[in-house]
Amino acid sequence: MIDERLEFEAKERLTDFLKDTTALVRHLVYEGIDDDHRPFFFEDLSDQIRTAWEEFEEDFNINDAIDQINDTDAEKFQASGLYGSQLDLKLSVIDKWKKRFSKKRIKKILLKLLDAIDTVLDSLIAATGMNEALKEIKDILRNSIDE
């Protein structure tokens, strides 16, 4: 059983994760270039990527998603490993990849970062029943990375 302090902390950290992930995806959509100033994504899809993101931003209500996090029972976070040391580890891995990506903007690191985010995002959606639109647009961006 998760105590109230751990539950509160988990909800706070997951809210920050959601905000940070949304901001990262937004940044990638509009500033998705590597250290050599080459786009991460297929260039011929850039207009579609931006249009899809703009549509997402019109439809996705982050405040509703945050409410869903705050309304979720602690047992669901526990069942998804989204509390305590398990959440610490997951968020630490994301943080490590973010730091590496901020120092060296290359596709290999971006892929690792997006995969680490996916681990938490999948569990968050399962635990809260949150809208999957952010995961879907993040996934399609990952699949649009030009090798």
Average pLDDT over residues 12-18: 98
Percentage, residues of the chain above pLDDT 90:
93
Task: Name the band, by pLDDT with cuts 50, 70 and 90, for residue 147.
Answer: confident
- Give, as one character, the DSSP assignment of residue 81: T
Average pLDDT over residues 79-107: 97
- pTM for the model: 0.94
Helix (H) or strand (E) holding 58: helix 46-59
Range of the domain at 81: 4-143
Instruction: Tell me the sheet residues that pair with 39.
Output: 33
C-alpha 7/C-alpha 66 separation (Å) is 14
Average pLDDT over residues 105-112: 97
The per-residue b/e assignment along 37-75, b for 16 or more CB within 10 angstroms, e otherwise, is eebbbeeeeeeebeebbeebeeeeeeeebbebbeebebe
Task: Name the band, by pLDDT with cuts 50, 70 and 90, for residue 100.
Answer: very high
Q: Provide the domain count of the chain.
A: 1
- Residues present in the chain in total: 147
Task: Say how far residue 40 (Cα) sits from the centre of its chain.
Answer: 17
